[in-house]
């Protein structure tokens, strides 16, 4: 599985070779910057330091740049996770002079037209829609129009809306990918200790009909993910090893000390392999 970022770095070959496809000033500086408004991860939103697209220019060119980009990635991967899928419908843009993402605005993108072209070029549509966050129903409709699998994240399932949460186990359906947490989440053990409220812990205990401990939480959510009807289950290595929040991969909205987590080779031992083999067999995930 490849992970395709939605946007392109400002200082990159793609931007400098095709400046007309990006929101730039005449001197090449960013005019409108990509990001997201305030959300679960950040009270100030996130400024990503990348220019948004000039969708009108891309559309006029028949989206050839996007089609070539996807084609090259599919030479390397069987599946592509389309990061920030909601931006195929609408995207948050902020003046490059802003210091936070608070003062931005939503603009619409011609994503349906682009996805229609992708479906003709790649009929199997080997994509995963990253459909997380404060997403409108129109984004889900766009996802479903092209039968793209979305994402279920169990760490998001135990808020006040638990009975109706799209992430809770009883609302999963086959055309999804289920995760305990993603690369942007805390580890499950860290989430339980640092992020989950006391009310959330009560809901979690009620849902699983047991008093769950810090030591048990990762194994419990891993079991739930494997038991889900979602067609693919993905478990971060930190959860398989029951590691705490100091071992998380990434903290969204920050630029320091991310993506540096490493494991020792002997951490992945025969006992862990046996546990995984048991779960794969028990929940028929080797079919």
Question: Which whole number is the average pLDDT over 99-109?
Answer: 96
Confidence of residue 250 (pLDDT cuts 50, 70, 90): very high
279 with 235: CB under 8 angstroms?
Answer: no
Residue 159 CA neighbour count, 13 Å, CB half: 10
The dihedral through the CA atoms of 120, 76, 81, 96 has a sign that is: negative
pLDDT at site 255: 80
Q: Using an 8 Å Cβ cutoff, are 1 and 81 in contact?
A: yes
In the residue annotation, 184 being an active-site residue is answered as yes
CA distance 144 to 98: 35
- Per residue in 117-168, pLDDT (tens digit) is 999 999 999 999 999 988 899 999 999 999 999 999 999 999 999 999 999 9
Burial state string for 154-167 with b = 16 or more CB within 10 A and e = fewer than 16: bbbbbbeebeebbb
Distances (CA, A) of 143 to 43, 100, 256: 27, 29, 33
| Mean pLDDT in residue range 249-255 | 86
Mean pLDDT of the 270-275 span = 92
Integer angstrom CA distances of residue 7 from 51, 84, 148, 162: 8, 9, 20, 32
Q: What is the dihedral of CA 228, 232, 236, 237, to 10 degrees?
A: 110
Query: CA separation (Å) from 71 to 13, 65, 68, 201, 223?
Result: 17, 10, 5, 44, 36
3-state secondary structure of 32: strand
pLDDT digits (tens, 9 = 90+) for 108-117: 999 999 999 9
* Cα-based distances in Å from 182 to 192, 214, 236, 237, 239: 15, 19, 7, 11, 11
- pLDDT > 90 in the chain, percent: 91
Q: Which pLDDT value is given to residue 61? A: 97
Instruction: Report pLDDT for 133.
Output: 83
∠91-93-98 over CA atoms, to 5°? 155
Contact 174, 229 (CB under 8 A): yes
Give the active site residue among 39, 61, 83, 98: 83
What's the DSSP call for residue 254?
A: -
Is-contact 69 116, C-beta < 8 A?
Answer: no
Tell me which residue of 118, 124, 143 sits closest to 132, measured CA to CA.
143
Q: What is the per-residue DSSP string for 33-79?
A: EEEE-S-SS-TT-EEEEEEPB-HHHHHHTTTHHHHHHHHHHHTT-S-
CA distances from 87 to 16, 36, 196, 239, 252 (A): 22, 10, 29, 29, 17
pLDDT digits (tens, 9 = 90+) for 36-84: 998 777 889 989 999 999 999 999 999 999 999 999 999 999 999 999 9
* Active-site residue (options: 93, 131, 184, 239): 184
The secondary structure of residue 186, as a DSSP letter, is: P
> Taking the model in full, what pTM does it have?
0.91
Q: CA angle, corner 81, sides to 117 and 92, nearest 5?
A: 80
**What average pLDDT does range 237-254 have in this prediction?**
93
pLDDT in tens, 175-233: 999 999 999 999 999 999 999 999 999 999 999 999 999 999 999 999 999 999 999 99
């Amino acid at each position: 599985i490849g992970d395709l970022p939605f946007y392109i770095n400002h200082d990159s070959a793609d931007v400098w070779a095709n400046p007309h496809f990006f929101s730039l000033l005449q001197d090449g500086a960013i005019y409108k910057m990509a990001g997201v408004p305030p959300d679960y991860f950040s009270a100030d939103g996130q400024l990503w330091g990348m220019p948004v697209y000039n969708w009108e220019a891309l559309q006029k060119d028949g989206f050839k740049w996007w089609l070539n980009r996807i084609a090259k990635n599919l030479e390397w991967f069987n599946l592509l996770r389309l990061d920030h899928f909601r931006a195929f419908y609408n995207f948050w843009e902020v003046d490059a002079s802003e210091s936070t993402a608070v003062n931005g605005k939503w603009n619409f993108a011609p994503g349906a037209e682009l996805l229609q072209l992708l479906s003709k070029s790649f009929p199997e549509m080997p994509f995963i829609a990253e459909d997380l966050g404060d997403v409108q129903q129109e984004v889900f409709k766009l996802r479903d129009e092209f039968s793209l699998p979305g994402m279920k994240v169990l760490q998001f399932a135990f808020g006040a809306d638990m009975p109706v949460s799209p992430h809770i186990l009883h609302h999963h359906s086959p055309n999804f990918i289920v995760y305990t947490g993603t690369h942007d989440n805390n580890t499950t053990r860290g989430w339980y200790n640092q992020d989950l409220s006391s009310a959330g812990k009560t809901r979690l205990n009620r849902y699983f009909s047991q008093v769950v401990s810090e030591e048990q939480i990762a194994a419990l959510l891993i079991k739930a993910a494997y038991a889900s009807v979602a067609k693919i289950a993905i478990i971060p290595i930190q959860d398989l090893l029951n590691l705490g929040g100091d071992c998380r991969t990434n903290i969204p909205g920050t630029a320091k000390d991310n993506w540096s987590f490493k494991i020792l080779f002997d951490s992945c031992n025969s006992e862990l392999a046996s546990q995984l083999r048991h779960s794969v067999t028990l929940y028929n995930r080797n079919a």
